[in-house]
Amino acid sequence: MDKLDIVIIGAGVIGLAIAWELSRKTNKTIAVVEKNQKFGQEISSRNSEVIHSGIYYPAEMLKTRLCVEGNHLLYRFCEENRVKHQRCGKLLIANSPDEIASIGQVYQQAGTNGVPAELISSNQIKKMEPLIEAQEAIYIPSTGTVDAYGLMQALYYLGQQQGVIYLFNTEVIQIDSISGGYALETPRETIMVEKVINAGGLNSDKIAARAGIDIEKHGYRLHLCKGEYFKIKKKRNINRLIYPLPGINSLGIHLSKDLEGNLRLGPNAFYIDEIDYQVDEEHGDDFYEAVQSYLPWLERDEISPDFTGIRPKLQAPGEPMQDFIISEESAQGLPGLINLVGIESPGLTACLAIAGYVREMLK
Ligand SMILES: Cc1cc2nc3c(=O)[nH]c(=O)nc-3n(C[C@H](O)[C@H](O)[C@H](O)COP(=O)(O)OP(=O)(O)OC[C@H]3O[C@@H](n4cnc5c(N)ncnc54)[C@H](O)[C@@H]3O)c2cc1C
C-alpha cells in the first residue's frame, strides 16, 4: 500500500465519525484500521444510546462543549441520513429535600451551559408521566435516544462512498516514528502514514504507549468501569427518560426506553481489572432498591439481566471526574499523532463535534 495521509485506529463511533468528517472536508487518503471483524463491536454498541443535552459538567470542559454542540449535530445528521432517533426529553427527578437542593444546582448549571431546561412540580410530573413518583424535576426537552448501530452504519457507508478505506481484522501492534510520519505495524503488513489518530476506546492508552507516550506521566492510564443493565419485562406507558441525581462515576441508575419501546434500568458503575461482559444476576436487588423511590409499583421479579458496557475512565477509583483527552502530540516529539483517551459518556452524543474538533486540530 502507498503511503497514506491519515490513519484512524478504531472503528467505533468516534473513529467512524472522524473518518466521515475528514473524508467530506479534505482530499486526503484516509484509512480506518480496526482489530475486530466489523465496526462498532465494543463501547459504541454497549451503552444507553442517549443523546445527552450537556447539563451536568462545567461549561468550560470539553465534555460539555462537545456534548452541547454534538447534540445539535447528531439530531441533524440523523434527520438527514434517516438514522432512527427520538427527541423524547428527560426528567431529572428529586424525592427528598437534599435531592431537591441538588437538582437546583444542576438546573443552574444547565442555564450556564446554555441548555434549555424547566423546573417542574410534582403535579406537572404526574401529568407528564403518571407512572413516575417525584416531588420535583428538571425537564430537559433536548435529550433523546438514537440507534447507535444505525448511526455507525450510516457513518461507515458515507465514509466508504467518500473513499475511506476500512481495514478490519487488523490490529495495530506497534507505532514507530519515521521520516515524515509513522510506520504502523500490524500482523499482516506495515502501513506508512503521515498522520495517526488514535480512537482506540478501551485500548487507547495502550496505543498511545505503543507510540512512545509515557502514559503514567501524562495521565493517560485508563481504568475499566463496568456498567450493567437490567430490563423491565413489560412495556409501560412512560415516554421520557427518567434520571435520578448523578453519582461520582455515573449518571445514576436511570430508566430509559429504547426505540422499540422496551424499558431498561441502568447502568450501575464499578471498577474491574479485566474486560468481562457478564451481568451479575445478584445485582438485581440493588437495581430494584435504587429505583423504588420513583417506580414504587415495580415488582422485583419484573426485572432481569440485560447487557453490560465498559467505560474507559481516566479517573481511578475515588478520584474526581476528568475531562476527555484529545491531544496533538507535537510537544512529545510526535507531530501528527492525535490521541483520544477517556472518551466515555457523552462520547456517543459528542461524536460529530469531536470529529470537527479533530479536523481543526489537524490544520
Ligand atoms: C455503560 C455505558 C453507557 C454509555 N451511555 C452513553 C449514552 O447514553 N450517551 C452517550 O453519549 N455516550 C454514552 N456512553 C459513551 C459512549 O458509548 C462512548 O463514548 C463511545 O461509544 C466511545 O466510542 P469509541 O469509538 O471511542 O470506542 P469503541 O466503540 O470501543 O471503539 C474503539 C475501537 O478501537 C478498536 N481498537 C482498539 N485497539 C485497537 C488496535 N490496537 N488496533 C485496531 N483497532 C483497535 C476496538 O476494537 C474498537 O472497535 C456510554 C458508555 C458506556 C460504557
Same domain, 309 and 166: no
* Total of domains in the chain: 2
70 touches ligand 1 (CB under 6 Å): no
The answer to whether residue 77 sits within a structural domain is no
Atom of ligand 1 nearest to the CA of 312: 53
Residue 5 is predicted with a pLDDT of 98
**Measured in angstroms, how far is the CA atom of residue 345 from the centroid of ligand 1?**
9
Helix, strand, coil % (nearest 5) of the chain?
Answer: 30, 25, 40
**Which residue in this structure is represented by grid cell 471483524?**
37
33 touches ligand 1 (CB under 6 Å): yes
Distance CA 194, CA 335 (A): 9
Would you place residue 127 in the very low, low, confident or very high pLDDT band (cuts 50, 70, 90)? very high
The answer to whether residue 76 sits within a structural domain is no
207 touches ligand 1 (CB under 6 Å): yes
Q: Which range marks the domain in which residue 109 is found?
A: 90-141+223-313
The answer to whether residue 62 sits within a structural domain is no
**Tens-digit pLDDT profile for residues 14-60:** 999 999 999 999 999 999 999 999 999 999 999 999 999 999 999 99
43 touches ligand 1 (CB under 6 Å): yes
Report the nearest-CA residue for atom 26 of ligand 1: 201
Same domain, 194 and 95: no
Distance of CA 225 to the CA centre of its chain: 13
Q: Is 14 helix (H, G, I), strand (E, B) or coil?
A: helix
Is the pLDDT at 151 greater than 90, yes or no? yes
The answer to whether residue 58 sits within a structural domain is no
The answer to whether 181 and 335 are in contact (CB under 8 A) is: no
- φ, ψ for residue 284, nearest 5 deg: -55, -35
Same domain, 331 and 208: yes
Residue 251 is predicted with a pLDDT of 78
**Tens-digit pLDDT profile for residues 194-203:** 999 999 999 9
Give the global pTM.
0.98
The answer to whether residue 206 sits within a structural domain is yes
**Tens-digit pLDDT profile for residues 213-223:** 999 999 999 99
Same domain, 241 and 200: no
Same domain, 294 and 235: yes
- Tell me the CATH number at 155: 3.50.50.60
The answer to whether residue 43 sits within a structural domain is yes
Same domain, 194 and 117: no
Residue 247 is predicted with a pLDDT of 75
Determine the Cα angle at 221 with ends 183 and 311, to 5°.
105
Report the nearest-CA residue for atom 31 of ligand 1: 12
The answer to whether 337 and 182 are in contact (CB under 8 A) is: yes
Same domain, 15 and 38: yes
Is the pLDDT at 316 greater than 90, yes or no? yes
Same domain, 229 and 354: no
Percent of the chain with pLDDT over 70: 100
The answer to whether residue 282 sits within a structural domain is yes
Same domain, 23 and 154: yes
**Measured in angstroms, how far is the CA atom of residue 331 from the centroid of ligand 1?**
26
Which residue of 36, 46, 47 sits with most ligand 1 atoms within 8 Å of its CB, as the best mutation to test the pocket?
A: 47
347 touches ligand 1 (CB under 6 Å): yes
Do the strands 144-146 and 136-140 form a parallel or antiparallel pair, or are they unpaired? unpaired
**Measured in angstroms, how far is the CA atom of residue 5 from the centroid of ligand 1?**
24
Residue 233 is predicted with a pLDDT of 95
The answer to whether residue 57 sits within a structural domain is no
**Tens-digit pLDDT profile for residues 232-288:** 999 999 999 999 988 777 778 999 999 999 999 999 999 999 999 999 999 999 999
47 touches ligand 1 (CB under 6 Å): yes
Is the pLDDT at 1 greater than 80, yes or no? no
Average pLDDT, rounded, for the chain = 96
Same domain, 119 and 245: yes
Same domain, 38 and 174: yes
**Tens-digit pLDDT profile for residues 328-347:** 999 999 999 999 999 999 99
CA–CA distance from 257 to each of 110, 176, 234 (Å)? 23, 46, 12
Which residue of 21, 38, 42 sits with most ligand 1 atoms within 8 Å of its CB, as the best mutation to test the pocket?
A: 42
Same domain, 304 and 227: yes
- Tell me the CATH number at 262: 3.30.9.10
